[in-house]
Amino acid sequence: MILTLLFTTFVTVFLAEMGDKTQLTTITLSSTTNKPVAVFIGSSIALILATLLGALAGGSIANLIPEFLLKLLSGIVFLIIGINLLAQSKKEANDYEN
């Protein structure tokens, strides 16, 4: 029974993570730093901790905070991250041109 749950969870998360922003970010970091082992370790630890938090929190957060507020906060955080990445990319492009 637990092996079925482990396998189902593994397959679901593995397929969900293929080609997403985490994988693309890992590819980008690895190609720009030329230190794939450090990027692998860092991204693995980050994914493990993020998954641990999600597994521990489960649905309890949804009981405390309304769904629309969670979606709003998530959207704001993603916008901030995106703006920061764009600004950093623009700065790096300007540095490269000079």
Each of the 98 residues of the chain gets a pLDDT tens digit; together they read 688 888 888 888 888 877 778 888 888 888 888 889 999 999 999 989 988 888 888 677 777 888 889 889 889 999 999 999 899 988 888 877 76
8 Å CB contact between 49 and 22: no
- Check whether residue 53 and residue 97 sit in a common domain: no
Which residues does 33 contact at the CB level (< 8 Å), separation at least 6? 39
- Check whether residue 66 and residue 91 sit in a common domain: yes
| pLDDT at res. 97 | 74
Counting the structural domains of the chain, the total is 2
| pLDDT at res. 98 | 65
pTM: 0.51
- Check whether residue 41 and residue 88 sit in a common domain: no
- Check whether residue 4 and residue 52 sit in a common domain: yes
CA-to-CA distance for 31 and 56, rounded, in angstroms?
33
- Per the structure, the complete domain to which residue 47 belongs is given by 1-58
8 Å CB contact between 48 and 61: no
- Check whether residue 16 and residue 44 sit in a common domain: yes
CA-to-CA distance for 72 and 46, rounded, in angstroms?
23
